[in-house]
Chain A
Amino acid sequence: MRSEGEPVKKLTEIAEQIYGQIEGGEIPKMVLPLRTKSNIKFDSKSNVWKYGKATGVRSAKKTVGAYMLLRTMYMLEFINSMIKEKKSSTLREMYYISEGWGKAKFSTQDESDKLAEDLEIITHCLREDFKLRPEEDGARVIGNITIEETDRKGKKKRINCRDDVGDSGYSIPYNVEKEKVRFVSVDADFVIAIETGGMFDRLVENGFDEDFRAVLVHLKGQPARSTRRFIKRLNEELKLPVVTFTDGDPWSFRIHASVAYGAIKTAHISEYLATPTAEFIGITASDILNYDLPTDKLSEMDIRALEAELTDPRFNDQFWKNEIELMMKNGRKAEQQALAKYGLDYVTDTYLPEKLTQAGII
């Protein structure tokens, strides 16, 4: 996180730009990189996907643009006041704050979240620098790793994520930066990031973390920023390899993409969130056939999602092309818990050991 002077200065620059445009008799506007699939490019320096050079204009010539610019003014005024008063708010509170903005109020929280991201992109700050935090918690962790967390009273607490926690594990806070979470020691060989809570609990119950010296991280569907950041730090600082274990459907492919390659929505901070070496171990479309898993038919939405992935640059390699095309050909998807077809221990006794061996993790 940056010092408080920096974000204020950056935000003020935005106001100055708009003020200057009006003073010069121009139509106020802001130029931003396009946040679309077609404008994310692979950055070979950091091995993650970032926004490319294509830009879009938010202009007061159009109604939506005009209102977004007005909201920008309101938002930066609000952020300045929070910084001054040493307060912070959740993104949801930010959305409700706009109730007082008359016609400029946000119509959905998506809108206000997106504007916060826009400000991140323009200022190269993080929304935490603006005293905005997500209301959702990060996900859970179980494994033999000891961390030191600075709690709300400033006290440092040492927690072993296997011995000091209950069955639901250590809960990742929204801020996982060094000043908040420090890694003390680790005795594990790899990190396994799991999409669903049911599978996470299965692995916990079966003692997978101890048997295979693994750190289990629950992704809770599309992982929050803090979860991704936490995984990246485990990978970078503790040199733990990372694998993702998800359902076998088009949306799960995107979960892996956001962990490993960077999400389209947060491509401006991919470098900070993505773990380029993370490996997808399943469930793949081939697994569905090889393990003869119970399946569901792909819905129309699923098929559209797969089609979109075929033109997504992040999936433009042979492995993903094969998997996506195979899934489309079969027209079926499967949940990770479908492995229970062969008994509750099958996943930990057979499936994961096989897949992890293939991946060279164990």
Chain B
Amino acid sequence: MTSIAEELGKKQKEISVSEFFERNRQILGFDSLSKALIVAVKEAVDNSLDACEDASILPDIRVTIDRLNQNEFRVSVMDNGPGIVRTQLPNVFGRLLYGSRFHAIRQSRGQQGIGISAVVMYAQITTGKPAHIRSKIEENDVSNDLLLTIDTKRNRPVVVEENHIIWEEEGRRVSHGTLIEFDIAARYVTGRQSVFEYLRSTAVVNPHARITYRDPEGRTTAFERATQTMPPRAVEIKPHPYGLEIGTLMNMLSGTEEKRLSSFLKNEFSRISDRVAKEICERAMISPDKKPREITLEQARAILDAISSTKIMAPQTDCLSPIGETLIKRGLKNVLGSLRPEFYAQPVTRQPAVYNGNPFQVEAGIVYGGELPVDQPVTIMRYANRVPLLYQQGADAITQVIENMDWRRYGLEQRGGTGIPYGPAVILVHVLSTKLPFTSESKEAIAPIPVIMEEIELALKSCARNLKSHLNKKETKGRASAKFDIVSEVIPRIAEKAASVLQKPVPDISRTIMKIMNVIYVDDELSYDQKKREIRGKVRLRNYTSKKQSLKVHMMLPPENLDLKSIEPGPASVEDGKVVWEIDKLQPLQTVELFFSLRDVEKDDYTENEIYVSDINPLLVLGAEPLPGDWGIRAFEVEEEEKEEDYDSQAEGELSEE
């Protein structure tokens, strides 16, 4: 009698990859009808973006979803990519696990998904209809137009119908591009996990792309391009030996064309020199000349041990292509601008780091205020290699870091100092890597690996500090404008009214005003000259105290844009963007103005001054923060506040009786 295992084994052999997926659709992410639409759009859009970037074309992608009946939709995605040559066309769309980047070690969107062919297959299974594919490369005059199905047993594409047609869209000849169109069983939903949200999130981190979307209700949304600059191309690299797994090593050993173990190590991995290869062989006690194919499992284990005890240079990190601080800000502005947020914290792109031999990098941004909802948990936008993650938020490393930070210190509400904070904010985190660690095959959440979480936390803290500084500034401005209102609007009128009741001349109010303000008031403004691409900044200090005051004013300005000649009056020092002005003996009610210019900048590149003061009691300055570490340099001179109860802040409600 044959064992059950053997029986199963026989059956397994007969199941092709396609058939296996057909029976386990949840692995492809098709575990629910509402998810199916998003997965389908995502695969097609990721393909289009990758194709455009490979060919250095600014992507222009059009997504259309039409409702055919209650549970059937036609999805159509068209791009302006380079097109696909006829011979590859059926394989790209009709064969699972086929693709150029399946074995490449490189940051790409593609590694997230199971590929567009799985979508074609899902469509075929659920509606029985073939997919419609059209593609044109620039060199050809006509496009290839195919109807395609998949032979799931053999995992082979079947071209049902083929035409060569002249491709026109809106009356214009298409020069190059690809269109895929298919019918699938799905459910259309709106909200946080919807096609719209997916495309909107995609647009934020792909500011170089133009994406238009027509939903089943016929509404069209266009996410316009926010930059004309392509993201730098991600470079393909060889795997780094750290973090190598035994199975992978065995595969590589049997597949290599190298004849000797030492040259295998040197040529199939990055950061292994002749010397390092020799050291590994010595430690593993295997001859460097041994044929890789003859290495046994035991020897492979010895090689892994040897690798982990050998000092090898960290992997190269130039293979990563972050979005960058400027473009994250632009992307966020472009997509969230209609909500008029009051503040975009300066985004942060961390230096690349390494986990398990894989280079990775973290970027973060925070948007605050405006019409963002106040009394709800903040919106978290998670990205992996520029692809939005919409599902399994709770399991994600990004979410866990956010939940474990104390956001109350940064001006957001958070009960007990843990959990997702509340407030009008959007937190964006992008993790990119040549090999992203996911919690599961469906690749919906980044695994909580300690080094990655550390980097995420550092990035978020830096953004959050920037947010806090903004909120502080806002508060100071509020206090300052309240005082201004008192001295400029109220006091003069009190004086006038009192004088008119008494029929006396209006008294001089200047000493009263100084007593009320009792600060040096700092305010600032920025203006942008579109033609010159120049930001001009002005900082005004007015002494509202009754004594003359001396102090230093410090500003941190972007050194690459700062025009040294524009700084007025002559600063005490300028060093790497750090400008210090020394103000000597500013008389009561006297004003001094400081100027600077930033050249070759966009309006949004520099939107808020950070002004610090030193060599003065910080309580005497309103509108600037004390230079960190400068407290207590001079003895405080503020007059003792009289301890008196404020009559107008008596508890309301106590007077509830007539």
- Interface flags for A39-56 (1: CB within 8 Å of B; 0: not) read 000000000000000111
Instruction: Look across to chain A and name the residue whose beta carbon is closest to the beta carbon of B496.
Output: A73
B31 to chain A, nearest CB (A): 46
A261 to B: closest C-beta gap in Å: 11
* Residue interface mask B470-511, A partner, CB < 8 A = 1: 000000000000100110011101110111111010011101
- Could you tell me if A63 and B507 are in contact, using CB atoms closer than 8 angstroms? no
Within the complex, which residue of B497, B501, B507, B648 is in contact with A23, where a contact is CB–CB below 8 Å? Answer: B507
B646/A15 in contact, CB under 8 A: no
Q: Which of B511, B647, B654 contacts A65 (CB 8 A)?
A: B647
- A70 near B512 with CB under 8 A, answer no
For B498, list chain A residues within 8 Å (CB): 15-16, 18-19, 22, 73
- In this assembly, does A248 line the interface, its C-beta being within 8 Å of a C-beta of chain B? no
Task: Decide yes or no: A37 and B654 within 8 Å by CB, A23-B507, A55-B645, A66-B494 being known contacts.
Answer: yes
A19 neighbours in B (Cβ, 8 Å): 495, 498-499, 502, 504, 507
Asked if residues A16 and B502 are in contact (CB atoms below 8 Å), the reply is yes
From known contacts A15-B501, A63-B486, A222-B658, infer whether A70 and B511 are also in contact, taking CB-CB under 8 Å.
no
Chain A contacts with B in 2-49, Cβ cutoff 8 A: 11-12, 15-16, 18-19, 21-23, 25-28, 30-32, 34-37
Instruction: Check if A223 sits within 8 Å of B497, measured CB to CB.
Output: no
For B486, give the chain A residue with the smallest CB separation. Answer: A66
Return A77 CB to nearest CB of chain B, in Å. Answer: 5
Question: Does chain B have a CB within 8 A of A180?
Answer: no
Give the residue name and chain of the B residue nearest to A312 (CB).
Answer: B654
**Given A25-B515, A26-B512 in contact, is the A77-B497 Cβ separation under 8 Å?**
yes
Report if A347 contacts B (CB, 8 A).
Answer: no
Indicate if B650 sits at the interface (CB-CB under 8 A).
yes
A61-106 interface (Cβ within 8 A of B) = 61-70, 73-74, 76-77, 80, 103-104
Known: A15-B502, A36-B654. A28 touches B645 (CB 8 A): no
| A332 at the B interface (CB under 8 A) | no
Q: Are A65 and B648 in contact (CB under 8 A)?
A: yes
**Cβ B493 vs Cβ A104 within 8 A:** yes
Instruction: Say whether B655 contacts A265, CB under 8 Å.
Output: yes
Q: Decide if B638 is an interface residue (CB 8 Å cutoff).
A: no
Question: Is the CB of A258 closer than 8 A to any CB of chain B?
Answer: yes
Q: Is A275 an interface residue (CB 8 A)?
A: no
Shortest CB-to-CB span from B477 to chain A, Å, is 14
**B577: min CB distance to chain A, Å:** 38
Q: Are A56 and B511 in contact (CB under 8 A)?
A: no
Give CA–CA (A261, B31) in the complex, Å.
73
- CB pair A56–B512 under 8 Å, yes or no, is no
Question: Cβ of A258 and Cβ of B655 under 8 Å apart?
Answer: no
The verdict on A215 contacting chain B, using a C-beta distance below 8 Å, is: no
Nearest-Cβ distance from residue B267 to partner chain A, whole angstroms: 75
What's the nearest-Cβ distance from chain B to residue A30, in Å?
Answer: 8
Q: Which of chain B's residues have a CB closer than 8 A to the CB of A12?
A: 501-502
For A21, list chain B residues within 8 Å (CB). Answer: 512
Partner of A223, one of B495, B509, B658: B658
Tell me the smallest distance from the CB of A203 to a CB of chain B, in Å: 23
CB nearest to B498 among chain A residues: A19
* A57 interface residue per 8 A CB criterion: yes
Q: Is A191 part of the contact surface with B, judged by Cβ < 8 Å? A: no
Task: For B657, give its contact among A63, A64, A263 (CB under 8 Å).
Answer: A263
A264 with B657: CB separation less than 8 A: yes
Say whether, besides A56-B644, A225-B658, A22 and B501 are in contact (CB < 8 Å). Answer: no
When the two chains form their complex, are residues B490 and A264 in contact, meaning their CB atoms are under 8 A apart?
A: no
Is the beta-carbon distance between A56 and B490 smaller than 8 angstroms? no
Q: Is B516 in contact with chain A by the CB < 8 A criterion?
A: yes
| Chain A, Cβ-Cβ closest to B495 | A22
Contact residues of B between 501 and 547, Cβ < 8 Å to A: 501-502, 504, 507-509, 511-512, 515-516
Flag whether B1 is at the interface (Cβ < 8 A): no
Decide if B649 is an interface residue (CB 8 Å cutoff).
yes
Q: Is the CB of B490 within 8 A of A70?
A: yes
List A contacts of B655 (CB < 8 A): 35, 114, 264-265
Q: Which residues of A contact B495 (CB under 8 A)?
A: 19, 22
Complex: chain B residue closest to A28, CB-CB: B494
> A213 near B: Cβ within 8 Å?
no
What's the Cα separation between A56 and B643 when bound, in Å?
Answer: 10
- Kindly list chain A residues whose C-beta atoms are within 8 Å of the C-beta of B507: 19, 22-23
Asked if B5 is at the interface of the complex by the 8 Å CB criterion, the answer is: no
Contact of A62 among B502, B508, B511, B648 (CB under 8 A): B648
Q: A19-B499, A224-B658, A264-B655 are in contact. Are A63 and B482 (CB under 8 A)?
A: yes
Q: Are B502 and A77 in contact (CB under 8 A)?
A: no
Expressed in whole angstroms, the Cα–Cα distance for A58 and B494 within the complex equals 14
Whether a CB of chain A sits under 8 angstroms from the CB of B8 is no
Whether, in the assembled complex, A112 has its beta carbon less than 8 Å from a beta carbon of chain B, the answer is no
Cβ contacts under 8 Å, A266 to chain B: 657-658
A22-B512 contact given A73-B494, A76-B501, CB 8 Å threshold: yes
Cβ distance B484 to chain A, nearest Cβ, rounded Å: 10
Question: Inside 8 A of A222's CB, which chain B residues have their CB?
Answer: 657-658
CB-CB under 8 A from B490, the residues of chain A are: 60, 66-67, 69-70, 104
List residues of B (629-651) whose CB comes within 8 Å of A's CBs: 644-651
Instruction: Give the one of A26, A31, A56 with max B CB within 10 A.
Output: A56
> Is A254 at the interface (CB under 8 A from chain B)?
yes
B650-A70 in contact (CB<8A): no
> CB distance B650 to A63 under 8 Å?
no
Asked if A60 and B486 sit within 8 Å, CB to CB, the answer is yes
**A59 in the interface (beta carbon within 8 A):** yes
C-alpha gap A263/B655 in the complex (Å) = 8
A56 near B645 with CB under 8 A, answer yes
Q: Of residues 568 to 624 in B, which have CB atoms within 8 Å of A's CB atoms?
A: none
Residues 218-235 of A, flagged 1 when their CB comes within 8 A of B and 0 if not, give 000011110000000000
Q: Would you give the shortest CB distance from B479 to chain A, in whole angstroms?
A: 10
Q: Report the minimum CB–CB distance from A326 to chain B (whole Å).
A: 23
Which residues in B have their C-beta under 8 angstroms from that of A35? 650, 654-655
B501 near A73: Cβ-Cβ < 8 Å: yes
- The winner among B497, B644, B646, B647 for most chain A CB atoms within 10 A is B647
A54–B654 touching, CB < 8 Å: no
Point out the residue from B494, B497, B504, B656 that lies within 8 Å of A60, measured CB to CB. Answer: B494
Cβ–Cβ contact B657 & A265, under 8 A: yes
Bound together, the chains give a CA A82 to CA B73 distance in angstroms of 78
With CB as the reference atom, state the residue of chain B lying closest to A262: B657
Counting chain B CB atoms within 10 Å of each CB, the highest count among A16, A65, A70, A264 belongs to A70
- A15-B501, A23-B507, A104-B493 provided; 20 other pairs, C-beta below 8 A? A15-B502, A16-B502, A19-B502, A22-B498, A22-B509, A25-B511, A27-B516, A28-B491, A35-B654, A56-B648, A56-B650, A59-B646, A60-B494, A62-B486, A66-B486, A70-B494, A104-B490, A114-B655, A222-B658, A223-B658
Name the 4 nearest CB pairs between A and B, nearest first.
A25-B511, A56-B647, A73-B497, A263-B657
**A–B complex contacts, Cβ < 8 Å, 26 sampled:** A12-B501, A12-B502, A15-B497, A15-B498, A15-B501, A19-B495, A19-B498, A22-B498, A22-B512, A26-B512, A27-B512, A31-B647, A34-B645, A36-B651, A37-B654, A54-B645, A55-B645, A56-B646, A57-B645, A58-B646, A59-B644, A60-B490, A60-B494, A60-B516, A68-B648, A265-B655
Which residues of B are at the interface with A, using a C-beta cutoff of 8 A? Answer: 482, 485-486, 489-491, 493-495, 497-502, 504, 507-509, 511-512, 515-516, 644-651, 654-658
Identify the A interface with B (CB < 8 A). 11-12, 15-16, 18-19, 21-23, 25-28, 30-32, 34-37, 54-70, 73-74, 76-77, 80, 103-104, 114, 222-225, 254, 257-258, 263-266
